[in-house]
């Protein structure tokens, strides 16, 4: 029933169905789950005489004058303006560059208008209000548009609000009686949840505000429950698979710890203990390691690799960029150079995209001559096979797709996997995305680190920022200047890295040695530039966001980020983490003329804290989970109505119920759970094997 194509619904047809498909709606079920983006309470409209500047209102009024004209600045730019009244006062409404409005704005027409009230030339005004034309006879009890809480949808092309409401109401009338509820009755009863039919009806056409909230809660719970059910199922399934039990203690690990010029922080020691406990078990480890930039995740990862190696196995580290892979290789190879294992030196290999020695590396990995292989996604190539891979590190995991992350473990026999991220996720939210993983957190920075000072400048004050950078360069330190694009973008009015590199080289920083790096450079050119910077042959590096991940140069003490409002908050924090890695005071200088409330909130949060978990919390509040995590990356696309930020308690309850159900009926064999099983396998056929294991 619900899988019936939408084009067969009365009033649609193939042509209009294409408009819906562009919104991800292909079937009747998709249409029933095409939720309103907001509601208007049309039981009681605001009076024009009561409107206050700065507030948002819904009003019902009649057009008494107006028309359309072209802007005196740009003849092709139209301005539609009408004056409306509801009998209590007058209001001006303006639409910019919407020439088709001319056909609709007729004298005497009655309208519903929704928008923010502004004051212009001492007149109340709505700019670009949402609108809908009405007829007086629509105030009947059965009206979908007047005298009730009315749904407002994101419109597919060719539809009006009235037409889409009518279409969805017809679909509900025809198909609701045939809908089966996937949530078992006893589960709904325990949690005071509406049934599915009631919920769908009241999410589209609420009986009242209370019913709308109950419908929203029920549908959100269902999304959370299915999402968490699959995560818990995956975790239980993995625990049933035999992995490799490692001996956690040994001379190789002890020798490495003794060779380090510093002592591990308490947080690093705690996390390493958690990893060793997993590695000692015959069950394969899947652990997420969160740690702020510069917190020492790589040392913990190296120690864990050595546990595998001292047990006679191989380890691999996969990084998202060639720059980071080479940095890991050079640093780890240097750290391990003095260590011996079974009477020989440890062998560390590097595999990146353009390696000339690729075939030799393949042979050495297959024969077991390489103990630790470090590389990019090149590690996923089919021709590469390991002799005995028992431990894997995936660094900056959010840079890889879900499919990519799943490929590397297949090169071993259920190897232990450590997934690392320097994008902190608030612990209360980690359960949302990583409920199938064990989670560790490094929440301490190494001793001797001085907090970075973050300062904010407008473009008028950029010379002050340049002066601070020049002072650092004169002290013998190094600096970065980051731009959001390579070429100049006239549309966004952002100075590109290439253009500014040439300009700065001739002006502000003409007395210093400058380098340029960006993602369009060949790998060899990137490597040469980074090598020069690391060897202090360059003073200042002009770059794009390619430096966001993992670059570790302790002599770099200053970073200027141009057009800072163009970056996400977590991205700004990642960039800032490239400095402050030595024992000197470091400065992050943000240059921005951003005027939106969102950009101001981001930059204020950046300037006020260097705590990555605080930054992550703020970023989630500002951008929401979809933008923060990336919908496709993490399965958040399944959350069409649920919000893990505002509904955390509901999420936890859904997870508890998922665990309880899997404990009682792991294969979903009971009659009450058959509908849920069918729905899960219909939407996620790849989970059939997990359910068969049970």
- Strands lying side by side in the sheet with 587-591: 453-457, 587-591, 556-561, 478-482, 540-543, 514-517
Residue 619 reports pLDDT greater than 90? no
The answer on 159 and 23 residing in a single domain is: yes
What average pLDDT is seen over the chain? 84
The answer on 5 and 130 residing in a single domain is: no
pLDDT digits (tens, 9 = 90+) for 248-294: 888 999 999 999 988 999 999 999 999 999 999 998 898 989 888 77
With respect to residue 513, please indicate whether it lies within any of the assigned structural domains: yes
Helix (H) or strand (E) holding 318, with range, is strand 314-318
559 bridge partner residues: 480, 588
The answer on 322 and 204 residing in a single domain is: no
| Nearest partner of 620 among 454, 392, 474, 429, judged by Cα | 429
pLDDT digits (tens, 9 = 90+) for 142-174: 678 777 888 999 888 888 888 899 899 999 998
Residue 426 reports pLDDT greater than 90? no
With respect to residue 471, please indicate whether it lies within any of the assigned structural domains: yes
What residues make up the domain containing 341?
251-442
With respect to residue 122, please indicate whether it lies within any of the assigned structural domains: yes
| Nearest partner of 551 among 527, 567, 568, 570, judged by Cα | 527
Instruction: List C-alpha distances in Å: 307 to 239, 275, 429.
Output: 21, 10, 31
The answer on 184 and 166 residing in a single domain is: no
How far apart CA 28 and CA 13 sit, in angstroms, is 13
Query: Between 209-239 and 648-664, two packed helices, what is the crossing angle to 10 degrees?
Result: 50
Quote the percentage of the chain above a pLDDT of 70.
89
How far apart CA 317 and CA 419 sit, in angstroms, is 10
Cβ contacts of 382 within 8 Å, gap of 6 or more: none
How far apart CA 349 and CA 691 sit, in angstroms, is 39
Q: End of a domain among 392, 410, 442?
A: 442
pLDDT digits (tens, 9 = 90+) for 523-562: 778 888 888 998 999 999 998 876 655 567 889 999 999 9
Highest mean pLDDT among 59-73, 531-545, 666-680: 531-545
The answer on 286 and 208 residing in a single domain is: no
With respect to residue 671, please indicate whether it lies within any of the assigned structural domains: no
- Tell me, what's the pLDDT at 490? 44
Residue 362 reports pLDDT greater than 50? yes
pLDDT digits (tens, 9 = 90+) for 303-312: 999 999 999 9
**Higher-confidence residue: 350 or 675?**
350
The answer on 134 and 194 residing in a single domain is: no
Residue 633 reports pLDDT greater than 50? no
Q: Give the dihedral sign, CA 618/623/626/628.
A: negative
With respect to residue 686, please indicate whether it lies within any of the assigned structural domains: no
pLDDT category at 370 given cuts 50, 70, 90 is very high
Which residue has tokens 């509820």? 181
Highest mean pLDDT among 296-305, 396-405, 595-604: 296-305
User: Where do the DSSP E strands lie in 357-510?
Assistant: 372-375, 389-394, 416-421, 438-442, 453-457, 478-482
What does the pLDDT average to over 467-474?
A: 95
How far apart CA 313 and CA 552 sit, in angstroms, is 29
pLDDT category at 690 given cuts 50, 70, 90 is low
- Tell me, what's the pLDDT at 645? 73
Q: What is the DSSP letter of 679?
A: H
Residue 366 reports pLDDT greater than 90? yes
Instruction: List C-alpha distances in Å: 53 to 112, 126, 507.
Output: 19, 10, 48
Instruction: List C-alpha distances in Å: 102 to 69, 113, 114, 120, 453.
Output: 10, 17, 19, 23, 55
358 bridge partner residues: none
Query: Within 13 Å and on the Cβ side, how many CA atoms surround 500?
Result: 27
Query: Within 13 Å and on the Cβ side, how many CA atoms surround 597?
Result: 3
Residue 674 reports pLDDT greater than 60? yes
Residue 629 reports pLDDT greater than 70? no
- Tell me, what's the pLDDT at 191? 95
CA 327 to chain centre: 26
Could you tell me the two tokens for 258? 């003794």
**Higher-confidence residue: 361 or 101?**
361
- Tell me, what's the pLDDT at 76? 66
How far apart CA 234 and CA 433 sit, in angstroms, is 13
Could you tell me the two tokens for 545? 């966001």
Q: Pairing relation of β-strands 478-482 and 556-561?
A: parallel
With respect to residue 429, please indicate whether it lies within any of the assigned structural domains: yes
With respect to residue 30, please indicate whether it lies within any of the assigned structural domains: yes
The answer on 409 and 290 residing in a single domain is: yes
What does the pLDDT average to over 614-640?
A: 62
How far apart CA 260 and CA 520 sit, in angstroms, is 37
The answer on 375 and 520 residing in a single domain is: no
Residue 513 reports pLDDT greater than 70? yes
Helix (H) or strand (E) holding 590, with range, is strand 587-591
CA-CA-CA-CA dihedral for 641, 644, 650, 651, to nearest 10: 110
Residue 672 reports pLDDT greater than 50? yes
Which residue has tokens 């060897």? 535
**Higher-confidence residue: 619 or 491?**
619
Helix (H) or strand (E) holding 301, with range, is helix 297-310
Task: Find the CATH number of the domain harbouring 601.
Answer: 3.40.50.300
With respect to residue 321, please indicate whether it lies within any of the assigned structural domains: yes
Lowest mean pLDDT among 130-139, 449-458, 592-601: 130-139
- Tell me, what's the pLDDT at 303? 96
pLDDT digits (tens, 9 = 90+) for 16-52: 888 888 888 888 888 999 999 999 888 788 999 999 9
How far apart CA 134 and CA 162 sit, in angstroms, is 9
Look at the pTM and tell me if it is higher than 0.85. Answer: no
**Radius of gyration in angstroms for the set of CA atoms belonging to the chain, rounded to a whole number:** 30
The answer on 86 and 161 residing in a single domain is: no
How far apart CA 365 and CA 389 sit, in angstroms, is 10
The answer on 192 and 167 residing in a single domain is: no
The answer on 209 and 126 residing in a single domain is: no
Task: Find the CATH number of the domain harbouring 13.
Answer: 1.10.150
Residue 505 reports pLDDT greater than 80? yes
CA 100 to chain centre: 37
Task: Find the CATH number of the domain harbouring 74.
Answer: 2.40.50.140
Count of domains observed in the chain: 5
Burial profile 36-66: b = 16 or more Cβ within 10 angstroms, e = fewer:
beebbebeebbebeebeeeeebbbbbebeeb
The answer on 272 and 313 residing in a single domain is: yes
Q: Are 565 and 593 in contact (CB under 8 A)?
A: yes
Helix (H) or strand (E) holding 187, with range, is helix 185-190
């Amino acid at each position: 029933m619900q899988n019936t194509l939408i084009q067969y619904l009365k009033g649609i047809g193939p042509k209009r169905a294409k408009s819906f498909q562009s919104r991800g709606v292909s079937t009747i079920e998709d249409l029933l789950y095409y939720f309103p983006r907001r509601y208007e309470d049309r039981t009681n409209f605001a009076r024009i005489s009561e409107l206050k500047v700065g507030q948002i209102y819904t009003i019902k009024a009649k057009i008494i004058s107006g028309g359309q004209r072209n802007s005196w600045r740009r003849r092709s730019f139209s301005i539609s303006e009408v004056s409306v009244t509801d009998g209590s006062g007058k209001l001006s409404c303006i639409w910019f560059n919407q020439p088709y409005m001319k056909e609709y704005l007729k004298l005497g027409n009655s309208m519903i208008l929704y928008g923010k009230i502004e004051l212009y030339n001492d007149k109340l005004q709505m700019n670009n209000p949402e609108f809908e034309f009405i007829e007086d006879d629509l105030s009947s009890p059965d009206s979908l548009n007047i005298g009730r809480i009315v749904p407002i949808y994101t419109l597919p092309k060719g539809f009006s609000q009235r037409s889409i409401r009518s279409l969805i109401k017809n679909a509900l009338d025809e198909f609701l009686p045939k809908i089966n509820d996937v949530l078992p009755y006893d589960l709904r009863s325990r949690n005071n949840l509406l049934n599915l039919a009631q919920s769908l009806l009241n999410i589209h056409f609420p009986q009242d505000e209370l019913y709308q909230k109950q419908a929203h809660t029920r549908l959100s719970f269902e999304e959370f429950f299915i999402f968490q059910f699959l995560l818990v199922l995956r975790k239980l399934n993995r625990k049933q698979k035999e992995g490799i039990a490692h001996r956690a203690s040994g001379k190789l690990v002890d020798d490495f710890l003794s060779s380090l010029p510093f002592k591990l922080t308490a947080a690093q020691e705690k996390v390493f203990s958690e990893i060793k406990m997993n590695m000692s078990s015959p069950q394969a480890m899947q652990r997420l390691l969160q740690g702020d930039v510069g917190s020492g995740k790589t040392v913990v990862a190296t120690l864990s690799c050595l546990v595998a190696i001292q047990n006679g196995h191989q380890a691999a580290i996969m990084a998202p960029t060639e720059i980071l892979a080479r940095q890991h290789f050079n640093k780890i190879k240097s750290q391990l150079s003095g260590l011996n294992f079974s009477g020989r030196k440890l062998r560390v290999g590097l595999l990146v995209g353009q390696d000339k020695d690729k075939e030799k590396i393949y042979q050495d990995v297959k024969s077991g001559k390489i103990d630790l292989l470090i590389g990019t996604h090149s590690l996923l190539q089919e021709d590469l096979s390991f002799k005995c891979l028992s431990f894997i590190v995936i660094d900056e995991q959010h840079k890889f797709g879900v499919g990519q992350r799943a490929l590397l473990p297949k090169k071993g026999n259920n190897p232990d996997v450590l997934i690392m991220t320097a994008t902190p996720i608030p612990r209360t939210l980690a359960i949302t995305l990583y409920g199938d993983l064990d989670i560790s957190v490094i929440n301490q920075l190494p001793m001797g680190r001085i907090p970075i000072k973050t300062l904010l400048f407008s473009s008028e004050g950029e010379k002050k920022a340049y002066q601070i950078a020049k002072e650092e360069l004169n002290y013998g330190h190094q600096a970065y200047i980051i731009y959001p694009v390579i070429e100049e973008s006239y549309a966004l009015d952002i100075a590109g890295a290439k253009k500014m590199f040439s300009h700065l080289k001739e002006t502000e920083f003409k007395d210093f040695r400058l380098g340029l790096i960006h993602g369009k450079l060949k790998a060899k050119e990137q490597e040469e530039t980074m090598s020069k910077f690391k060897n202090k042959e360059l003073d200042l590096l002009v770059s794009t966001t390619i430096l966001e991940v993992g670059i570790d140069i302790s002599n770099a003490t200053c970073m200027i980020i141009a057009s800072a409002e163009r970056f996400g908050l977590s991205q700004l924090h990642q960039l800032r983490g490239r400095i402050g890695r030595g024992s000197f005071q470091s400065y992050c200088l943000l240059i921005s003329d951003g005027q939106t409330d969102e950009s101001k909130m981001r930059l204020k949060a950046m300037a006020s804290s260097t705590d990555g978990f605080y930054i992550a919390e703020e970023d989630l509040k500002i951008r929401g989970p979809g933008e923060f995590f990336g919908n496709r990356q993490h399965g958040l696309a399944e959350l069409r109505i649920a919000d893990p930020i505002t509904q955390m308690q509901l999420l936890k309850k859904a997870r508890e119920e998922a665990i309880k159900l899997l404990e009682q009926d792991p294969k979903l064999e009971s009659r009450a759970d058959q509908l849920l099983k069918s729905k899960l396998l219909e939407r996620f056929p790849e989970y059939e094997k997990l359910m068969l294991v049970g």
